[in-house]
Amino acid sequence: MNSLWLAWLYLRQRRVAAGIMVAGVALSLYLPLAAHWAADAFDKALGARAAATPMIVGARGSRFDLVLHGLYFRARSEGTVAYSEFAALRDAGHGRVIPLHVRFTAGGQPVVGTSLDYFEFRKLQIARGESMALLGDCVLGANAAHNLNLGPGGNLKTDRKNLFDLAGDYPLQLNVTGVLAATGTADDEGVFVDVKTAWVIAGLGHGHDESNATNSPSAKLVKTHLEITPENMSTFHFHGDTTALPLTAIFVEPTDAKETAMVLGRYQNNGQLQALKPPVVVDEMMGMVMRVRQFLDANYALVAGATGLLLALIVALSRRLRAREMETLFLLGCSRGTQFALQTAELLIIFTAAIVLALAAAWATVGWARDYLNTLAG
C-alpha cells in the first residue's frame, strides 16, 4: 500500500506528464476496443434486422445494395420491380407480401412508400395520432418526428431531387397523421406513406382541375395540385398501365420452407429480378467486415507495440532522470525490490487509469455508434 501511496504522490506532483502518458496509453487501447465493440454492435444490429426480414425481391444488381435498401431505406439507383410482380406474388399465396418504394426524401428523411402491412411486419406501434388512411397522409418514425419537429396534424414537403429540372417532380405536401414509437432501428428515420402517395411524389400520378386539363394545349402546362386535400383528392389519378407502376423492392414473408423455396425458384432464372435472403447476404457482408477487422487488428498490434516501446523508453529515461531520487531512497533504507515496486506501482496506476479511460471512451463511442448503426439511414 505504501508503494501505491508514494507512487500516487509522485504522479500527482507530475500530473501533466502522467496525464499525457495516461492519454497515450488510453488512446492506443481505445482504438482497438472501440473498433471491436463497434463491429460487434454493427454485426448485431445488422443481423437482428436481417433476421426479421426473411426475403426481399428486387431488380438484379448488387445483392448488398438491394438488402441495404430494403433494411435501411438507402437509395438505390438500379432498376425497379413492376407492381404486377407484387400482385402476382401476393396472389400466388406464398405468404405475406409487402411493397416498398423508396426514392425520395422529405426534410432529409427517407420517404418509405409501402402498405399498412409493413407496420405489422415490423411490429411498429403508433405512439401518437393514427395510421395513414388517405392519399397524402404520412406516419413519421420517432427520430424523423424529432428531427423535423413534427407531430400529428403537421405537414411537410418532400424534397426535390433536382432543383433545375422544371419538368421534373414537384414537392408534394404530406399530412402527418401519426408518429411511431421508437424502435432503435431504421424505421425510426422513415416518413411512411402509402405506395400510391409515393407514386404521386414520383410524378406518376397527379391531380388537377378537369377544366384546366381540357383547355390546356399541353399536358406539361396543366397546373397540378401540390397538396392533396379532401377537396381535390378525387382529381388524383394515374395514367397508363397501373400494373406497370414501379416498386423498388418487395418484402416476402413466406409461410414455410416450401414457400421460401418456391419464391427462390421463381426468380432463379429471372434475368431482371432476384430474390434474396437478407440473413445470408448480411452474413456474407459481415464476413468482409471481419476480414477488414483482422487487418485493423494487425495495425492495432503494431501501434500497441510502438506504444509499448515508447513507454519502455520513457521508463528508462525516467530511471536516469530519477537516479538521484532512487539513490536517496536507497540511502534511507529502501531495498532494490521496493524501488522496483514503487516504479511498478506508478505504471500500474497509469495503466489502470488508461484502461478505465479507454473503456469509458469506447463504451460511450459504441453507445453513440449503436444508435447510428441501428438506423444507417440517409
Partner 1 sequence: MRVAIDQLEFEYGPGRFRICIPDLQIEAGARVAFVGPSGSGKTTLLRLLAGIVTPQSGTVTVGEVPVNELADAGRRAFRIRHIGFVFQDFRLVEHLDVRENILLPYRLNVALPVFDSIESQVKQQAERLDLADKLDSPVDELSQGEQQRVAICRALLPRPELLLADEPTGNLDPKNKDRILDQLFQQAESAEATLLMVTHDHALLDRFDRVIDFAEFQKPEAAHE
Query: For binding to partner 1 (CB under 8 A), which residues are involved?
Result: 2, 5-6, 9-10, 12-14, 325, 328-329, 331-335, 338
Q: Are 256 and 43 in contact (CB under 8 A)?
A: no
Q: Are 199 and 205 in contact (CB under 8 A)?
A: yes
Q: Which is nearer to partner 1, 125 or 335 (CB)?
A: 335
Q: Which is nearer to partner 1, 166 or 332 (CB)?
A: 332
Neighbours of 153 (CB within 10 A): 10
Q: Which is nearer to partner 1, 240 or 337 (CB)?
A: 337
Q: How far is the CB of 332 from partner 1 (least distance, A)?
A: 5
Beta bridge partners of 180: 126
Q: Are 98 and 114 in contact (CB under 8 A)?
A: yes
Q: Which is nearer to partner 1, 167 or 331 (CB)?
A: 331
Q: How far is the CB of 51 from partner 1 (least distance, A)?
A: 58
State the cell numbers at 58: 428486387
Q: How far is the CB of 7 from partner 1 (least distance, A)?
A: 10
Q: How far is the CB of 316 from partner 1 (least distance, A)?
A: 20
Q: How far is the CB of 349 from partner 1 (least distance, A)?
A: 14
Q: Which is nearer to partner 1, 10 or 170 (CB)?
A: 10
Q: Which is nearer to partner 1, 40 or 325 (CB)?
A: 325
Backbone φ, ψ for residue 206 (5° rounding): -155, 170
Q: How far is the CB of 12 from partner 1 (least distance, A)?
A: 8
State the cell numbers at 349: 496506476
Q: How far is the CB of 24 from partner 1 (least distance, A)?
A: 21
Q: Which is nearer to partner 1, 23 or 329 (CB)?
A: 329
Helix (H, G, I), strand (E, B) or coil at 378: coil
Q: Are 163 and 182 in contact (CB under 8 A)?
A: no
Q: How far is the CB of 15 from partner 1 (least distance, A)?
A: 11
Q: Which is nearer to partner 1, 241 or 325 (CB)?
A: 325
State the cell numbers at 161: 431531387
Question: In a 10 Å sphere around its CB, with 0-12 CB exposed, 13-18 middle and 19+ buried, how is residue 343 labelled?
Answer: middle
Q: What is the DSSP string of 159-180?
A: PPS-TT-TTSPPP-EEEEEEEE
Question: In a 10 Å sphere around its CB, with 0-12 CB exposed, 13-18 middle and 19+ buried, how is residue 278 labelled?
Answer: buried
Residues 6+ apart with CB under 8 A from 67: 50, 56, 276, 278, 281, 282, 285
Helix (H, G, I), strand (E, B) or coil at 149: coil
Q: How far is CA 47 from the centre of its chain?
A: 12
Q: Which is nearer to partner 1, 13 or 162 (CB)?
A: 13
Place of cell 414457400: 259
Q: How far is the CB of 317 from partner 1 (least distance, A)?
A: 17
